[in-house]
Each structure stands twice: as C-alpha cells, then as structure tokens.
Structure 1
Amino acid sequence: MAKSNVFTVAQLKSLPVGKHCDGQGLWLHKRADGGAQWTFRFQLWGRQREMGIGSFKRIGLGEARKKADWVRLQVQADIDPVKQRRLERQQSNSRDGRLESLAWEAYGTHKASLKHGGADGLWVSPLRLHLLPKLGKMPIVKIDQDDIAHALAPIWHEKPVTAKKALSRLRTVFKYARAKGFLVNRAVIEEAVILLGENKKPVRQSLSLPWSGVPALYATLSDDDPVQLALRMLILTGVRADSVNNMQLGQIEGEMWQIPPLHVKGRASNTAGFDVPLSQEALHVIALAKKQEQNGYLFPNARGGPLNKMAMRNHLVETNVAARPHGFRASLRTWLSDQTDCPFEIAEACIGHVRKGDAAIDTYNRTAYVMKRATFMTDWAAYVSGKT
C-alpha cells in the first residue's frame, strides 16, 4: 500500500513549485505565482481522474486528508465523486436550481428549433404567465404535483389549450433539468393532471365557411387593398396566414411561390421550406399586389413592413363574415374531399400538412407532389373565382 501522511504542515510550506504527493491519491500542486491547490487522483471504471479539493490557503493539511478520505470511500463504493459532488451542489437551494432559472436556460437551448428562432416569445409565454409567477422561485427538485395543479387550476377548464401548452413547456424544462443532473421527478406532471381532473371543454376550432360559400366572399374582395389582396392569396393557396403576411416578391419564381422555412409551421429546421404552385388567378393577385409592394412585401402594412397578423381577421370581423383566416384551409380541404378525386396524401400536401409515418418510407419518398397539387389548386382557384 502506498505511504500516506507523508508531509507535516511545516514541510508543506517549504515545498518547491510542482506537484507533491501526500500519499494514497492526495496531492498538493504548488504554482509559481505562490498559490497552491489540493487535488485527489483516483482510478474508476478504467479511467484516471483528478478532482479538486480546495485551495491550500483555505484548507489545511488535516482537512484535506479528511476530504481525501471521503473521496476514497466514494471510489470504493463504485461512485464517481466528481459527479456526486456536482449532483449535491445542484440539489441545493441555490438560484441556479430554481425553476425560473432552469426554464430560461431550457428555452435558450430549445429556441433554435422554434419558428422565428423563438424571438416572438410564444413558446415560453405559457410558462412565463401561468407557472413562473407561482413556482419560479422554488427549487425544481421540490416542486410536486400539488404545486403544479394549484398553479394551473385557474386556467385548466377555462383555457384548456393554454394550460396544456404550459404543461408541455414544463415537461421540456424538467427533461432539461434532469439532463443537467437535477434529480427531478417528471412523474409529478402527469400526477398533477390527475389532480386537475379530466378537461371536457371542447377545443374550439377555427371558424370556416362551407366551401360552397367561398366564391361569394371572394367576389367581394377588392383589387387594390393589401389586406383584401392578402385574403385572396390566402384563400387561393390554402397556406397559413403567417406565410401570406410575410410574402415577398423575391419568393416568387415563375409559377412557384417558395415560402422560406421561417414562415412555414413545423419547418424551422427544414432548409427546403415549402413550394406552392400558383394558379393563374393567384398570379393575377400577385400582379395586382405589385402596385402596392413596399420593401419587397407584397401585402405591406402602413410602415412598409409585413402585414399585421390580425389584419385579415379584422377585415372578416368588420364585414360580418363568420370565418377566420385559418378556417379557409378547412374549406379547401373539405372541397378536395367532396368535389374531387384528390388522393389523401396530395390533399394533405395541398394544405402543407407534414405526414409523420414510417421513417423508412419518409426517407425515400421525398416528393412534395408539386405537379399533382398544381392541378387541383388550379381547379380550386377556378371554382373560387367563379370561372367554372
């Protein structure tokens, strides 16, 4: 066995610069700048490791040997003392271990995969508004199902979609905390749902017009108002409002609209974006919109930026139309099912739904059905504009 307790306190003070072993893994590293550091070397699972014990100025020889004994016992018990010490520090009530701090850290690592890079704050909003005010200061390891249920009770039945989003964000934060080494119990989230009870309030779907009523509405939309031109483009293409609000002249290539991934739901990490075949009626709307174009935006707001996200909705409300922009996607999708022989995959592709099926099939079948979609979208445009 290696010798231990080699040095005395007096000898330590006179040691030269370098690394000196007190025995059984305890070392003192004296630096040229006058400082010195205690370390402990050990071997575990076939790996050589070194763990800092503390500064020589703050920890004397006797205390360093006691700390070395603790590390030695950990190693003998097949425990990595470096990881164990980190876990113990993280389980303390320090600010770094509180929900609010970890929530923002998790958001920081997650937002790169979000639309707009998470800059709009929509992802973190349910957490920030409904959980952090009540639980943010708590150490995450001490949060239980009662805490979560109490925080979400005011919105659980009144705002079920928001409440479920808050829980989804909390799951992400708990996973992140677990990955960092915090011994959180992720099961408390599901137990909180049991305490809150079943939510029977139906999710309200976007108001939509029956497809038979769309041509009459389309006929009322003007040729010179950016908001109404945007609504025409929305109806003709079946895309989401954000894509139309941010539509730019540079995205048009011949008879194709190339929507960048930033403005396509679920495509933030897809560099290909989404290609929309344009009918002759859609190209006509673009030609009209060019007269209003500002800073590249085909449907600009008053300051020359992208159209306000509420502009099309407000027009429908002001004209007493019982529909919302997102609902026209349902009108198109229902028309495709009722009035055409459009296959399911192509109909879903027409409204930009991303199919999540067999991974092997998705790997090899990379088509977006652009040419086949073009035929059906041309028929839809002709129907909507009253040309058939």
Structure 2
Amino acid sequence: MRAQNRFSAQFVKSAPVGKHCDGAGLWLVKREDGGAQWVLRVTVHGRRREMGLGGFPSLGLAEARKQASRWRDVAAAGRDPIKEREAEERAARREDISLAILTADAFEARKAELKGDGTAGRWLSPLTIHVLPKLGKVPVTDIDQRDIRDTLAPIWHTKADTARKAINRLSIVMKHAAALGLDVDLQATDKAKALLGKTRHVPKNIPAMDWRDVPDFYASLDEPTLTHLALRLLILTGVRSGPLRNLRLDQIEGHVWTVPAEAMKGRKGATADFRVPLSAEALRVIDLARPHARDGLLFPNTRAGVISDMTLSRMMQRRGLEARPHGFRTSLRTWLAEATDATHEVAEAMLAHVVDSSVVRAYRRTDYLEQRTELADRWTAFVTGGAQKVIAFKTVD
C-alpha cells in the first residue's frame, strides 16, 4: 500500500466510523454522527503534536493534503505548526491584540487575587480612564515607551498616585501579553518612567486626630444615629470604614467580630478572615445600632446598601474638623506606640497590617487575639474616659 495519498475521494465520502490514515501523518476521523475531521500528526523536537485542520466536507481531500504538506514542512524546519498558525491568526486579526482586549484578558486572569473579584473596578479604573481612551485600539506589540510617556504625562505630576497605578498595571498587561507569546517590549514601562522623570507630587497623609483629643470627640457622639454609632465603633475597633460600614450581624459571635478575608484591604498574601476583638463598650454600641439593622446589615443606608464613607467624613467636616474617619487608625496606632508597651507585631496586628515575609507568617500562626483583646479594652477605657465608662446618649424625640 502507498505510504502517502492512500485515500480516494469516494472513500472519504463513505469511510466508516473510526480513524483512517491517508499517510504521512494525515488522518481522517469519522464520527458516529456522520461528521468527520482532518487531523495532522507531526513530531517537533521529539514531541508529537496533533493539529486539527478542519472538518469534512467543508475541507476536501485535496485541500487537506495541501495544508498537511505545508505544516509538515514547518515541523521539518523545527518549528511548532500549531504555534505558527496561532501567530498567523493573531496577525490576521490585529484588533484581537489591541491593548484594550489584552487588558480585559489580564484582568480576567487576576480577578481571583482582587478584593471581591475586582467588581468595584478599582484595578481597571486607572487604565480605563487614563490609558485606554488613547491607546486602547493600538496593538500591544506596537506600544513603546514614547506612547506611554505621552499618555501619562498630563497626570504624572498632578495625579501621581493614579499615574503610578496606571503604569504598574500597564506593566502587568504587557507581561500577560508576553506570556501569550506576543512580541512586546517588557521594558517599555520602565523606559517611560525614565522619560517622565521623578514626580513632583508630594503624597499627603489622611488627616488624623491627636489620640489625646479622641476621648472628647467620642463623648460628643452622643446621639443614637447611625452616623454617630458608626463613628463610635470605628474609633473603638480601629478598622477601616469599608468593613465597618458593611458589617453584618452574623459576623459577630460573642466578643469577636470576624471580617471576611475578601473584605480586607492591604492584606495581600493573607487568606484568613480577620478577627476583631470587641470591648464591652463596642458591644453596647452594636446593640444600640441593632434597631437600625436591615437585611442583616448593621449600618444600612436609608434607601439601599450601606451608609457611605462620605456620610462619616461630612459629619466631621461640618464640625470644622480637619481629621477624617480613616485617621482614627493613625490615632490608635500612635497611642499604641506612645502609651503602651505593645510589641510592633501586636500593634500592627491591631490595624490588620501584614508584616514580615510570607515565610515568617507561615510559621507564626497567630493573630494575637488575646493580646489585642486586652489592648482593645485599654483603648476603650482611655477613649471613654475611664474604665469603660458608659456615656449616655441624648434622647431624640
């Protein structure tokens, strides 16, 4: 029997179910449903590769042999025909390797690492607002440092933090494109930074209240409104406003509030939930807020969702205060440093900061809950002006 071109046109039409070899690696795979598929088997660098060429009858015998001959030559030259074809298809559809499409693809690949699977859009927003409007349609293989410089120059000094996030995430997208086999310049973002120069922007810390002034402010929160109660609990626990505003009643058990890992910010590499010790005063504030609860949320908005961060900030702003709610974390951290003997690790754990390397954390399997409980009680005693002194709320008619 001939080693190649074994089939006749009539055989291809009437071939029984199964695999049939035309020779030189070209196979016809006939299915039970009557359909058939052409498959080419080649060996590249000692590894067998199977390449689908198309279905019969849309791809006839003559064309299948022609394609098989072409891809055998590619394999004989030491190149992978499957990868060669993928590269040709990408070149034929250059819009498919535009920065916009590669950005979306990179985002999909990273979603599991992001808080809430990136549903808030914060990872994408620096790119969608400042980069993609100008470079979104450009093939990622064509983007160089001058394109990046010209795109980010308008915000490089005026919105430095946003520009930094944009260029860092653009670097991630470029690396993702390279991993897909695209010929991109992985140094383009670093070269762009060199062209843009050092930013003149001086970052500003969020204004914080001096820890010595916190007791007076806490005592002034004497109305049983959601805003006052939320600010009280924010001060007592030292958490960020996001987890506090989204606090659910089923997250509280005894004197511990467990914040889900996905709700925590700034804990990259940490997968465990975060336990927050609740003092007697904190539990009292939670009880006072319970009548406001809706759908399991302790601090619901009047319409839907939860109270906004701006609600808390505006309340302090109306009082003429420079400090903002997030600043109470700084107040607590400074009090820990100046008024207690808490170790660095425990003090950082009070604010849910991740410290040390992943290796050290792997061996140090504790969240210092017992020590943090004692410190939370001491902080509460200080904030309330005594040994957890109960502050009466004003009666609201």
Letter in 1 for 2:70: W
What letter matches 2:233 in structure 1?
M
Aligned to 2:289: 289
Q: Give a deviation string over 1:255-289, Cα, whole Å, max 9, x none.
A: 11111223211458866311111122212222222
Q: CA shift at 1:125, angstroms?
A: 0.9
The aligned counterpart of 1:385 is 384
Rounded to whole Å, the distance in 2 between the matches of 1:296 and 1:6 is 72
**Contact 2:267–2:353 under 8 Å retained in 1:** no
Q: CA RMSD in A?
A: 2.6
Q: Percent identity?
A: 45
Aligned length: 383
1:177-206 C-alpha deviation (Å, 9 max, x unpaired): 223332222211111111111113111211
- Report the CA distance shift for 1:366/1:234 in structure 2 as closer, same or farther (over 3 A): same
Spell out the pairing of 1:1-388 with structure 2 (5 A cutoff): 3-4=3-4, 11-15=8-12, 16-17=14-15, 20-28=20-28, 37-54=37-54, 64-266=64-266, 272-303=272-303, 305-357=305-357, 359=359, 361-387=360-386
CA distance in 2, matches of 1:293, 1:55: 61
Q: Distance in 2 between matches of 1:369 and 1:179?
A: 41
Deviation at 1:100, TM superposition (A): 1.1
Shift of 1:90: 2.5
Within 1, Cα distance between the matches of 2:305 and 2:299? 9
Return 5+ residue gaps in structure 2 as ranges: 388-397
Measured against aligned partners, the alpha-carbon deviations of 1:220-269 in whole angstroms (never above 9, x if no partner) come to: 11231111111111111111000111122222211111112232114588
Task: State the Cα distance separating 1:86 from its structure 2 match.
Answer: 1.3
Does the aligned pair in 1 maintain the 2:106–2:176 contact within 8 Å?
A: yes
d(CA) in 2 for partners of 1:84, 1:67: 13
Q: TM-score, normalised by structure 1?
A: 0.89
- With 180-189 and 203-212 compared, the bigger mean Cα shift is at 180-189
Give the residue type in structure 2 aligned to 1:371. Answer: E
CA distance in 1, matches of 2:251, 2:268: 17
Structure 2 CA distance for partners of 1:312 and 1:58, relative to 1, 3 Å = same
Within 1, Cα distance between the matches of 2:291 and 2:24? 83
Cα distance change of structure 1 residues 34 and 341 upon mapping to structure 2, 3 Å threshold: closer
CA contact (8 A) 2:44 2:80 kept: yes
Q: Per the alignment, do residues 212 and 87 of structure 1 end up closer, same or farther by CA in structure 2, a change over 3 Å counting?
A: same
Residues in 2 aligned to 1:221 and 1:61: alpha-carbon distance in whole angstroms: 84
- After superposition, the C-alpha distances for 1:270-324 in whole angstroms (9 at most, x for unaligned) are 6631111112221222222223333332222213632212211111111111111
Letter aligned with residue 335 of structure 1 = W
8 A contact 1:113–1:269 mirrored in 2: no
1:23 Cα shift?
Answer: 3.7
Q: TM-score, normalised by structure 2?
A: 0.87
Tell me how far 1:28 sits from its aligned partner. Answer: 4.7
Q: Structure 1 residues 258 and 34, CA, compared in 2 at 3 Å: closer, same or farther? A: closer
Which shows bigger deviation, 82-91 or 368-377?
82-91
| Structure 1 residue 160: Cα displacement | 0.8
Judged with a 3 Å threshold, the aligned counterparts in structure 2 of structure 1 residues 272 and 30 are, in CA distance, closer, same or farther, namely closer
Q: Deviations over 1:93-118 (max 9, x none)?
A: 43321111221222223223221222
SS in 2 for 1:291: helix
